[in-house]
Chain A
Amino acid sequence: MERVILHSDLNNFYASVECLYHPELRDKPVVVGGDEEARHGIVLAKNQIAKAYGIKTGDVLWEARRKCPGLVSVPANFELYLKFSKKVREIYADYTDLIEPFGIDENWLDVTGSLGLYGSGENIADAIRKRVYEELGVTVSVGVSFNKIFAKLGSDMKKPNATTIITKENYPSAIWQLPASDLLYVGRSTEKKLSAMCVHTIGDLARCDVNLLHKRLGVWGIMLHRFANGEDHSPVAKREAESCIKSVGNSTTAPRDLTTPEDVKAVFYMLAESVAARLRGYGLKCTGVQIYIRDKDLISCERQAKLAFPSCLTSEIAEKAMEIFTSKYHMSKALRSIGVRGIYLVPENEACQLDMFSDQQWREKLEKAERAVDEIRDRFGYFAIQKGILLKDRKLTGINPKDDHIIFPAGYLNGKVV
Chain B
Amino acid sequence: MGKKFISVTADFSEDGQVKPVRLNWENGRRFEIDRITDIRKAASLKAGGIGLRYTCMIAGKQVYLYKDQDQWFMEVND
B4–chain A nearest beta-carbon distance, Å: 13
* B contact residues around A135 at 8 Å (CB): 40-43, 50
Bound together, the chains give a CA A87 to CA B50 distance in angstroms of 11
Q: A134 is contacted by which of B43, B46, B49 (Cβ under 8 Å)?
A: B43
* A contact residues around B50 at 8 Å (CB): 20, 87, 135-137
Whether the pair A136, B48 counts as a contact (CB closer than 8 A) is no
A205–chain B nearest beta-carbon distance, Å: 41
Per-position binary interface string of chain B over residues 35-58, scored 1 when its CB falls under 8 Å from any chain A CB and 0 otherwise: 000001111111111100000000
Whether the pair B46, A136 counts as a contact (CB closer than 8 A) is no
* B contact residues around A87 at 8 Å (CB): 50
Q: How many residues of A contact B (CB 8 A)?
A: 11
* B contact residues around A20 at 8 Å (CB): 43, 45, 48-50
Smallest Cβ-Cβ distance to A19: which chain B residue: B48
Whether the pair A134, B42 counts as a contact (CB closer than 8 A) is yes
Smallest Cβ-Cβ distance to B41: which chain A residue: A135
B3–chain A nearest beta-carbon distance, Å: 8
Q: Any chain B CB within 8 A of the CB of A415?
A: no
Bound together, the chains give a CA A21 to CA B46 distance in angstroms of 9
B9-47 residues with Cβ-Cβ distance < 8 A to A are: 40-47
Whether the pair A137, B1 counts as a contact (CB closer than 8 A) is no
Q: Mark B residues whose CB is within 8 Å of A.
A: 1-2, 40-50
Q: Mark A residues whose CB is within 8 Å of B.
A: 20-23, 87, 133-138
Q: A20-B50, A23-B47, A134-B42 are in contact. List 18 more A-B contacts (CB 8 A).
A: A20-B43, A20-B45, A20-B49, A21-B49, A22-B48, A23-B1, A23-B45, A23-B46, A87-B50, A133-B43, A135-B40, A135-B41, A135-B42, A135-B43, A135-B50, A136-B50, A137-B44, A137-B45
